[in-house]
Structure formats: C-alpha cells, structure tokens
Chain A
Amino acid sequence: MERNYTKLWWQHCLAIVGFSVIPLLIVNLSLHALFNDIYTDKVSENLLNRVEARRDTLDLFLNERVAQIYTVAHTNKISDLIDEAYLGRVFSIMHAKSDSYVDIGVIDKAGNHLAYVGPYYDVLKSANYKNEPWFYAVMSQGLYISDVFMGYRHYPHFIIAVLIREKNETWILRLTINLKNVDDIVQKAWIGTLSDAFIINSTNQLQTLPRFGGEYLSAPIFKRFGKGTDNGNIPYPDLSATAKTRVERMSIQGNDVFIAAASVRSSAWVLVSKESPDEILSPLAQGSFWMYLLTAAGLLAICTGAALFTNALINRIRETDRENAANSDMLLQANKMIALSKMAAGIAHEVNNPLASIAENAGWMKDLLVEEDLTANPNIKEFSDAVDKIEQHVDRARKVIHNLLGFARRMEPAKEKINVNNLLDETTGFLENEARYVNIQIEKDYADDVPTITSDLSQIQQVVLNLLNNAIDAIGSNGVVTVGSRYLAKSNEVEIRIADTGKGMTEAELNKIFDPFFTTKEIGKGTGLGLSISYSIIEKLGGKIKVQSTVGEGTIFTIILPKH
C-alpha cells in the first residue's frame, strides 16, 4: 500500500502556507486600510485648516481695506474730496505704505465722476455709473465690495465703495483694489507642484487667475496631468454655493482630487483649493510599497520554510514507511515459515508411516521373489519389475519427505571456523564441470578482507550449492554466474552473493520464492523445497537471505551471515 507522498506534500505544505499566510494578509491589509483612513483624515484636516487660513487672510485684507476707506470717507469733508488735488494727496497717503489700490474716485448720486485719481483718468473721468450694478448696490447698502468685472477700463478689477452722507446729500467714495494683492494671498495656497487655488463668485466665475486652466470671469477649468493629457474642457464642479468650509475627495472625470472650499465672509466669494492625492498622500504610497514588499518577503519566507519543513517531514515519513514495510515483510515471512514448517512436519509424519509400510511390504515381496522358485511363472519378470518400480517410487517419495523434514527440522547447527572464500571455491568446484558443459562461466569476485566466521560449514555449503544449482538452471545455457563475498565491517557480517544472468523473476514470483513447493522449474525437475530449506537454514544460523531480480536480466541472491 503505497502512500501518495506528492499529495501529502501538497496537503501539508498548503496547510502551513494557508494558516500562516491568511492571518498575515488579514493583519497587513487591515493595518494598511486603517493607516490609510487615519492618514487621509489627517490630510483632509490639514487641507481644511490651510484653506481656512487663506480665507481668513483674505477676509483680513478686505476688512482692512474697508476700514481704511471708511476712515477716509468719514474724516474728510466731501467738499475737500471732490477737489482732485486734495483727493490726490489723500490717495498718495493711502498708497504710501501699500500698493493695495489702483485708483480712487468720488461719484455723485447721479453717477457722475466728480473727482478721480488714477491711471485711467481719460476713460473714467467722464464715465457715468448710474446704470452700473454696483452703483445700485452701494446706494442701497451703504458699503459694497464688488465682484471682479471689466468695467469701462476693460481690465479685470474690483472695487470697494462707501456711501457718504452730508447735509442730506449723498456721494460715493469708490476705490479700485489692486487684484495682485488678492492673487498673492490665494497663490500662497499653491503648495504642491500640482495644487491649485482660486476664488469664484456666486455665479462660478473666476475672480483670480488659477494656476491651471481658466481666465478671469470664466468658469474654472480642470486640468488633467499625466499620460494622454487632453485638457478638453472639463469644468470644476460648481462650488459657488459653499457656505460651510468643506474638504472632499472626489473624482472629476475619472481624476482623483482633493477639493477644499471655504466661503469668504466679507464678500460672496468662495475660495477653492485643489490638491492631488498623489502628492499629498505620497507617504501613504510609500507605506503601501513597503507593506507589499514586506508582505511579499514574508510570503516568500513562509513558502520556503513550509517547503523545506514539509520536505524533511515527508522524507522522514517515507523512511519510516519503508522501514515499517520491510519489518512487516520480514515478520510476515517469518510467520509464514513457522506455520509452513509445522504443516510440513505434520504432513511428512503422516505420510512417513504408510510409506514405511509400503517400502517394507515391497521389500518383503522382493525377498519372496528371490526365495521361491517362481521362474516357471511367465509373469515373474513383470512381478519383479513392478516391485522394483514400487521401491523406486517409494524412494522418490522418501526423498521428498526428507527434504520436507529438512525444511522443518530444528537441529542445533554445528559451530565451526569457516573460511568463506575457501568454502565458496570448494562448492563451486562441485559444479564447474556441469557449468562448463552448458557453457556457463563461473566468475569469482571475492573480497580479501573476509574474516573467518563461526558457523555450520555443511549447512552453508548446502545452501550455496542449492543457489548455484538454481543459478545454472535459471540460465539454462550460455551465461555467467558470479560468486562474490564481502565483509560488512560496520555490522560485523559477511555477505555471500550469487548472481546469474538468467531469465529473472517477476514480483509475484519473488514474493513466493521462499515458500515450500514453489518452483519455477518444469514439473518433476524441482521439488520447490530447495530455497525454503535454504531460508530456514540461514535463518537458524542467525543470518539473512535476500533476493533481487529483474525479468530478462537475472537474479541476485545475497546471504548475510554474522561473524559469530
């Protein structure tokens, strides 16, 4: 019963790998996911803080501007302010420590420019603002911060205007803010190489120049990076309705981005900031890389370990199996031998007595034939022949019985000093003529270091003779019989080897070879007892007899005898 070792190997190996790899993967992946979440949260929070800081800065800037304009509007008489020389002095004071303003103007309630100081004097001095949207707004609200617009100067700008009341008359003090200041504030949010920040108004029009894509007063355009860059016209989602600051990770036409939006308090603007996850989450990507690398290394280690360990284990199992099989084979053979020898002895005994009677009676008849004067009887020769035949066949039966009993006998073996090589020489000598006659060569392969052993010479000789006979019979004619000896120093045993180049035997034949009455020879040629007797003799001498055979190549019998 051969075990399927390959299947066992895989089962064991996969079990080890499975039980180690699954927990490893679960732990690694869940830790990674957890870390991912935490880190993403952290990054989002950072982004939120950053966009709010920018927004606050912007608010501060606008509030300061408003405060300054207010101060100017309420600390000067309108009669002074409409004097352009006076207004020019005020403006140069305002402008002395900052470049926040482009121009300044005073407008009456009919929309006429009463006074103007700034670079667009020719265009704007004569302008009437009565129909401008901001004009209505400031008239009704008293203070107005406009969106960016082109106006008469055809250049993007925005204004802050306050209403001045004096003696039931109203004027408007109007200042154009330098857009560069706002741009500077917003652009401080361009941190990464792919990040962007801009302001949109309540109708999703750009109030500042974004880093990528879009012009003043157009809708912001999303720019894609990386392979197959095709800018097309992907718009940003409309974030103009943002009230509460928010950070979102979203997909714009398949592009993963972080978008943060914060509403500017002092106007209707929304500050939008965009970040690329690749950039801000790069530590995370690095973490992933290491996780995969370490996991792969772990898997490799586990698999290698499992394979090596399983190999060792399977080899051990295989060895144990082999030993067990050998032991059980030997035990089986020994048991079989005991049972068979008992049976053989029983049969021999039962047959022996009638055989003895037949022999004696035949003998008696023979005696009588000699004594009596029966020569006259015409059948005398027939009687005589018949009696001879009886005796002859009784003798044949007796030989079989003696062989059988020889197999079963339990005689104490003699103890003599034997030179094994001499014994082999002597024994092969008996058969050399016979072998030569059928053209079989007997080759000798003796070792020189074979020691003298103590055993039963004649019994060993009987066994060797039997094996040589078998070898010659197995070859038939034309072949080589090799007789060898060897000293097994490790176990202090002597090995005798008889190999032939005969027809060999099949596995089935080999299994039965030591059974009594088993023979491969023709009927009548062999009793089938030789090898079973040889087996029991060697066994009794404390040795072992083994056989190896290959069909078509020959058979090797090995006898191992203890030195003592």
Chain B
Amino acid sequence: MDNAIRVLIVDDEDDFRETIVKRLNARKLQAEGANSGIKALEVLKQKEFDVMVLDVKMPEMDGIETLRHVKKMSPEVEVIMLTGHASVEFGLKGMQLGAFDYIMKPAPINELLDTIGQAYNKKRGTA
C-alpha cells in the first residue's frame, strides 16, 4: 500500500465527494475527502498527498483561492481542477497557477483515474 496514490478530493457536495472517495478506494487508491478549501488546507498540513482533485466552485474559499494556498504550502502536490463546462476559464486559469490539468464535471470515473495516474507519474518524475 506504500506506493498507492494518495488522493485528496475537495468538493462541497457531500454525496459526490464521498462516493468518489469510496470508488477510488475500491480501485486501490488511497483517497480522502475534504468538504471545503479551508478543511483541505488543514488536512494538507497534517498529511502528505500526491494528487489533489479540487472543485472550482465552492462557497467561502473557491478552488482558485485554495489552489494558490496549496501551491504555497506544498508545491509538490499535483492539483487537478474539477470544473463545470462554463467555468473552463477557471480551469485554464488554474493551469496557469500551476494546476496539472482540469476535468469537466460530471466526469466518467475512468477519465478521472487516467488523469490522476498521469498527475502521479509527473509528480514521481519530478520528485
């Protein structure tokens, strides 16, 4: 389990987040959830993650804001932005700020897995 990919899912939508976490765990990933940007930053302080899946649209602290903090705190974490179609701009902006990629919601699980895998490979390559 040491080489399992550690993934943090950040989304305010509980049902979505929890299910994703379950499904990723079922696929031999080490996934955890955080229901807000602030919570995610707290979790990130305590634990190390390889990949972070970050919803763009959240109350209080949105995805872009969270991304800025994440890139300051632990720049080694690869971030995948999760966006609605209309907020492609945010996805692009996220990539300018150092996110690995963006995925449109709702995304098929395979697509998400692929992207997570790529992000992990990139991180390992650079590490």
A-side residues, CB < 8 A to B, are: 345, 348-349, 352-353, 355-357, 359-361, 363-364, 367, 371, 394, 398, 401-402, 405-406, 408-411
Interface centre among B20, B26, B106, B107 (most CB of A within 10 A): B106
Interface flag for B68 (CB, 8 Å): no
Q: Which of B76-118 contact A (CB under 8 A)?
A: 84-86, 88-89, 104-109
- Which residues of the partner chain B approach A352 to less than 8 Å between Cβ atoms? 84-85, 105-106
Q: CB-CB < 8 A to A355: which residues of B?
A: 106
**Does B69 touch A at the CB level, under 8 Å?**
no
Given contacts A356-B16, A363-B19, contact A406 B85 (CB under 8 A): yes
Contacts of B106 in A (CB 8 A): 352, 355-356, 359-360, 394, 398
B87, closest chain A residue (CB): A349
B84 touches A405 (CB 8 A): yes
Digit string of B54-85 for contact with A (CB within 8 Å is 1, else 0)?
00010000000000000000000000000011
Most buried by B among A352, A367, A408: A352
Q: A356-B13, A371-B26 are in contact. Are A364 and B19 (CB under 8 A)?
A: yes
Cβ-defined contact, B23 with A364, below 8 A: yes
Q: Known contacts A360-B23, A364-B22, A394-B106: does B15 contact A345 (CB below 8 Å)?
A: no
Of all chain A residues, which has the CB nearest B82? A356
Q: Interface residues, chain B, CB within 8 Å of chain A?
A: 13, 15-16, 19-20, 22-23, 26, 57, 84-86, 88-89, 104-109
Kindly state the separation between the CA atoms of A523 and B15 in the bound complex, as whole angstroms.
Answer: 32
- The CA-CA distance from A349 to B105 in the complex, in Å, is 10
Q: Which residues of B contact A353 (CB under 8 A)?
A: 13, 16, 105
Are B15 and A357 interface neighbours, CB within 8 A? yes
* A residues near B16, Cβ cutoff 8 Å: 353, 356-357, 360
* Cα distance A20–B23 in the bound complex, in angstroms: 92
Whole-angstrom CA separation of A406 from B16 in the bound complex: 24
Are B88 and A411 in contact, with the CB atoms below 8 A?
yes
Determine if B15 and A361 form an interchain contact, defined as CB atoms under 8 angstroms apart: yes
Which residues from chain A contact B89 at a C-beta distance below 8 Å?
410-411
Chain B residues, CB < 8 A from A367: 23, 26
Q: What's the minimum C-beta distance from A479 to chain B, rounded to whole angstroms?
A: 35
- Decide if A357 touches B85 in the complex (CB within 8 Å): no
**Chain A to chain B contacts (Cβ below 8 Å), 20 pairs:** A348-B84, A352-B84, A352-B105, A353-B13, A355-B106, A356-B16, A356-B106, A356-B107, A357-B13, A357-B15, A357-B19, A360-B109, A363-B23, A364-B22, A364-B23, A398-B106, A405-B84, A405-B85, A408-B86, A410-B89
With CB as the reference atom, state the residue of chain A lying closest to B12: A353
* Interface secondary structure of A, over-half rule: helix
Most buried by A among B15, B84, B107: B84
- Apart from the given pairs A352-B106, A364-B23, 5 other A-B contacts in the complex at a CB distance below 8 Å: A345-B86, A353-B105, A357-B16, A405-B85, A411-B88
Once the chains bind, are B19 and A401 in contact (CB under 8 Å)?
A: no
- Most central of B20, B22, B57, B85 by chain A CB within 10 Å: B85
Name the residue of chain B whose CB is nearest to the CB of A408: B86
User: How far in angstroms is the closest Cβ of chain A from B19?
Assistant: 4
Cβ of B59 to closest chain A Cβ, rounded Å:
12
Q: Bound state CA distance, A361 and B107, in angstroms?
A: 13
Identity of the chain A residue whose Cβ is nearest the Cβ of B57 in the assembled complex: A349
Q: Which residues of B contact A398 (CB under 8 A)?
A: 106
Chain B residues positioned under 8 Å from A394 (CB to CB): 106
Do B23 and A409 touch across chains, with their CB atoms under 8 A apart?
A: no
Once bound together, how far apart are the Cα atoms of A355 and B88, in whole Å?
A: 18
- A348 to B86, Cβ gap below 8 A? yes
Expressed in whole angstroms, the Cα–Cα distance for A398 and B88 within the complex equals 16
Q: Which residue of A lies closest to B104 (CB)?
A: A402
**Which 10 A-B pairs have CB atoms at the shortest separation, nearest pair first?**
A405-B85, A356-B106, A360-B19, A357-B15, A357-B16, A359-B106, A345-B86, A405-B86, A364-B19, A356-B105
In the complex, what distance in Å separates the CA atom of A371 from the CA atom of B23?
Answer: 12
Determine which of A348, A363, A405, A408 lies in contact with B109 in the assembled complex, contact meaning CB atoms within 8 Å: A363
Q: Which residue on chain B has the smallest CB distance to residue A361?
A: B19
Give the CA-CA distance A49 to B26 in the complex, in Å.
140
A348, B85: Cβ atoms closer than 8 Å: yes
Q: How far is the CA of A348 from the CA of B106 in the complex (A)?
A: 11
Residues of B close to A356: CB separation below 8 A: 13, 16, 105-107
Most-contacted residue by chain A among B16, B20, B26, B89 (CB, 10 A): B16
The distance in angstroms between the C-alpha atoms of A404 and B16, with both chains bound, is 22
Interface centre among A355, A367, A408, by most chain B C-beta atoms within 10 angstroms, is A367
Question: When chains A and B are docked, how far (Å) is the Cα of A410 from the Cα of B109?
Answer: 27
